[in-house]
Structure 1
Amino acid sequence: MSTMVFFFVPTVIFLTVVVPMWLILHYWTRARLNKGLSADERQHLEEALALAERLEQRVATLETILDSEHAGWRTARDDDRERRA
């Protein structure tokens, strides 16, 4: 009976004190490591932002061309929508 208690008490202490602290610290450090973007994710984000800026410039250029060649294109589109409704 004493050998059973000899192994039982340290096991209970280990399971109630050490294991929960170990798990908490493990997931806490994992969360700290994953807090920011990785280098690959940051590169993809920068590429997407550059693409969005180029597309925005293209739209602005197209609007400028349409404004110079067909002055009422914005209101014409709105008038077409009102006719369809």
Structure 2
Amino acid sequence: MPGEVVMLLLVLFVGLPWLILHYTTKWKTAATITSDDEVLLEELYNLAKRLDERMDTVERLVAHDDPSFNPVKRLQADQETDNQQLRELEQLIAEKKGTGA
């Protein structure tokens, strides 16, 4: 009987807190991205914006030379549904730069 009580106390006061703290630490470290990752994402975002502008220019030039040209459907800059996530991303970038991080 005393051995069972000691075992129960060890499980309650050592095992359970260790288990909780172990997985809490794992969760916190896995849920974040590094500042290098943020810089890379911002560079990729800016590159994608530039490439999209270039595609618009190329499509305008080809359409001017060949009236029968029909561009492939892409995201359109003037459609609200296509711009919602873009605005959210730009807002996050602006907030990040505003906080100095």
Shorter-chain TM band: 0.5 to 0.7
Choose the corresponding residue for 2:16, options 17, 20, 23.
Answer: 20
- Percent identical: 29
Residue 73 of structure 1: SS of its match in structure 2?
A: coil
The structure whose residues are more often helix, as a share, is 1
With the length of structure 1 as denominator, give the TM-score of the two structures.
0.63
1:1-85 counterparts in 2 under 5 A? 8=3, 10=6, 12-74=8-70
Query: Which runs of no fewer than 5 residues in structure 2 stay unpaired?
Result: 73-101
With the length of structure 2 as denominator, give the TM-score of the two structures.
0.55
Larger radius of gyration: 1
Query: Which runs of no fewer than 5 residues in structure 1 stay unpaired?
Result: 78-85
Aligned length in residues: 70
Higher relative contact order (CA 8 A, sep 6+): 2
In structure 1, what is the Cα distance between the partners aligned to 2:57 and 2:40?
A: 26
**Which stretch has the larger CA shift, 41-50 or 61-70?**
41-50
Question: How big is the alpha-carbon RMSD for the aligned residues of Structure 1 and Structure 2?
Answer: 2.4
